[in-house]
Amino acid sequence: MRMKKYFFLLLSLFCLIMQGQNNHDSISSASYLSDFDLFTNYLEQTHPDPYTAFGGKIYFRKTVQEIREQIKNIQSVDEFEQILRNLLVRLEDGHTFIYASSKKKNLSVQAKFLPLTFKTATDGLFVARTTENYKKYVGYKLIAVDGITTDSLAKRMRVIAPIENKYGAWNVLENVIAHQKGAEKLLKKERVENLCLTLQNRVNNIENITVELEEKFTFTPISQEMNLNEGNGLLSYRLLPDCNAAYFRWNTIASREIFIEADSTDKETNRAINWLYGIMKRPKPKNFTETIDGLPELYGTFYRMLTEMKENKLEYLIVDLRKNGGGMTPLCMPLLYMLYGNDYLNYHSDAEYHTLISPLLLKKYKTTLEKFNQKEGKDYKMGDYVFSPFFPYKDIPLSQKQTDLSLISYENGTGKQYTINLKGRPVYRPHVIVLSSPATFSAAYHFMYFLTEIGNATIIGVPSSQAGNTYMESTRFELPYSGIAGSISNAIQIMFPNDEEKGIVFIPTYPMTINDYAKYNFVEDAEILYCLDLIKQGKILQKQQ
């Protein structure tokens, strides 16, 4: 299957797609059972392997039959939704989940929050922000909550949320433990008004503090040595000539290019656009053309940046993917061509990507099995797998690849004006440094993977919550009676077929520990400051994977 068909939407975006969910409070037991049977049917038809996590097909079906008996006694859609979530988390698949409910719950009760936040480092969670009362604890490592160790809490997260590795568990734990309802669920308590935190300072002294949850508070500001948060909030760059570098921040694998030929009446398109304008914190124009034009352009921006880097002879490009939860993987391909030219086109690896053909998949592609086979030149049946290398272009002549718009532009030819005349030559080839965090997910993980594989990029930060050898893509489903909607993976990727550990956790070249963050007073952009110091010290190219 051609790479341009690999359709990855943002995990965070899916949590905002809530089309009329949970507005069906009073439905019959038969309706719940009908929805559940449809749900399990979707799961078996669409997911590449829903069985292994349960011990095989027999035990998957055993679990399903036991749940059917349980469903006969449920009283609400919320209860039904939780049953579905509990089933899906066992897959440990970050692309298969139930969307967040749009129903407002407990309106009479004001939610409370922990007046401090945590951040994940490579060696654990630390206190990142606090109110004035707790500012002395910034940088302290979280050891336990109410006597339960962080490792034990991370294990509990695996039965609450879809988790692919321990950094995913820690990343979700950051948010769950700070929210009253999340803490109650995690700690298995009816009511949580305070938390006993066991913290460890930099000289390994342990301190237990009791923190009251609060409704309203203000975090103490932390001064930033360097602020690179300017721009539109989606993608931007800045030259740093004094550091021999340029800085490119990309907060989602999306841009104007994916909407050039979009249908203004399409609901999914409008949800995605609304979400992007939310990231940019800008009002969306009423006119659809103006709305599209208001989104930042990726290819022109990247081309100008590389051109300016070449003019200024800057050697390092810092690509910041710390807040990038994914998007459209094909959008990255022209960037790789601008950076690496023929080295990108000639790239080949043993990585694999296998897609299961299902009714939901074909619905997502807005096609039929007959048309799908005509386009692929195959004779697939429903339920067949499309077995493919992750980058399936090895046997295509180089001269042909240099003009193949699916490789050098976005799938509809958008952006080809920046690549069509390169003829295999990079616009400019700096050494790329990727800033990573647990939030670097899905298509952002793919971009990071390609940058390391093709350009030997340096990775700095904290491992991604995305596993390399895991299920992939998001295929939407909705259940008619309960209104519950969600996502099911329709493919499996094996990025590291010969390295099982790396297939679970992609350790950066320079993994940042709590002590590394301490060097920069735990500021939000400590990763950038650490990266610039490594450049100044000449260490970037000394340590490569």
The number of angstroms, rounded, from the C-alpha of 521 to the middle of its chain's C-alpha atoms is: 27
**In whole angstroms, what is the distance from residue 390 CA to residue 495 CA?**
8
Same domain, 357 and 275: yes
pLDDT at 372: 96
Residue 10 lies in a domain: no
pLDDT at 228: 76
Q: What is the pLDDT of residues 364-387, one digit of tens each?
A: 999 999 999 999 999 999 999 999
Same domain, 141 and 247: no
pLDDT tens string, the chain, 545 residues long: the values are 333 333 333 333 334 333 334 445 568 999 999 999 999 999 999 999 999 999 999 999 999 999 999 999 999 999 999 999 999 999 999 999 999 875 544 434 578 999 999 999 999 999 999 999 999 999 999 999 999 999 999 999 998 899 999 999 999 999 999 999 999 999 999 999 999 999 999 999 999 999 999 999 999 987 776 777 667 899 999 999 999 999 999 999 999 999 998 888 888 889 899 999 999 999 999 999 999 999 999 999 999 999 999 999 999 999 999 999 999 999 999 999 999 999 999 999 999 999 999 999 999 999 999 999 999 999 999 999 999 999 888 889 999 999 999 999 998 799 999 999 999 999 999 999 999 999 999 999 999 999 999 999 999 999 999 999 999 999 999 999 999 999 999 999 999 999 999 999 999 999 999 999 999 999 999 999 999 999 999 999 766 54
Structure tokens at 541: 């190219």
In this prediction the pTM is: 0.92
Same domain, 283 and 163: no
pLDDT at 394: 86
Structure tokens at 135: 């500012």
Please list, residue by residue across 380-416, b when 16 or more beta carbons sit within 10 angstroms of its beta carbon and e when fewer do. Answer: eeeeeebebebbebeeeeeeebbeebbbbbbbeebbb
- Residue 250, helix vs strand vs coil: strand
Using CA atoms, how far residue 308 sits from 231, 245, 319, 372, in Å, is 17, 11, 16, 43
**In whole angstroms, what is the distance from residue 169 CA to residue 147 CA?**
18
Residue 162 lies in a domain: yes
pLDDT at 104: 43
Using CA atoms, how far residue 88 sits from 40, 44, 83, 165, 257, in Å, is 10, 12, 9, 16, 34
| Sequence-ordered list of residues with C-beta below 8 angstroms from that of 414, at least 6 positions apart, any chain | 257, 260, 299
| Sequence-ordered list of residues with C-beta below 8 angstroms from that of 24, at least 6 positions apart, any chain | 77, 481, 482, 483
SS (H, E, C) 353-422: EEEECCHHHHHHHCCCHHHHHHHHCCCCCCCCEEEEECCCCCCCCHHHHCCCHHHHCCCCCCCHHHCCCC
Q: What is the pLDDT of residues 245-261, one digit of tens each?
A: 999 999 999 999 999 98
pLDDT at 225: 65
Q: Which residue, 20, 22, 54, is CA-closest to 40?
A: 54
Residue 209: Cβ within 10 Å count: 15
Same domain, 450 and 492: yes
Residue 5 lies in a domain: no
Q: Which residue, 281, 273, 275, is CA-closest to 233?
A: 281
Same domain, 242 and 206: no
Same domain, 263 and 130: no
Residue 448 lies in a domain: yes
Per the structure, the complete domain to which residue 277 belongs is given by 235-537
Furthest CA-CA distance within the chain: 70
Residues belonging to the chain = 545
How many structural domains comprise the chain? 3
Same domain, 203 and 336: no
Q: Which residue, 312, 491, 298, 467, is CA-closest to 388?
A: 491
CATH number of the domain encompassing residue 488? 3.90.226.10
CATH number of the domain encompassing residue 197? 2.30.42.10
E strands present in 403-501: 431-436, 458-461, 469-472, 475-478, 485-488, 491-494
Same domain, 241 and 195: no
The number of angstroms, rounded, from the C-alpha of 103 to the middle of its chain's C-alpha atoms is: 24
DSSP state for residue 466 in the 8-state scheme:
S
60-69's contacts with Cβ under 8 Å and 24+ in sequence apart are 63/87, 64/40, 67/36, 68/33, 68/36, 68/37
**In whole angstroms, what is the distance from residue 141 CA to residue 198 CA?**
9
Same domain, 347 and 451: yes
**In whole angstroms, what is the distance from residue 325 CA to residue 213 CA?**
29
CB 374 within 8 A of CB 491: no
pLDDT at 543: 64
Same domain, 67 and 125: no
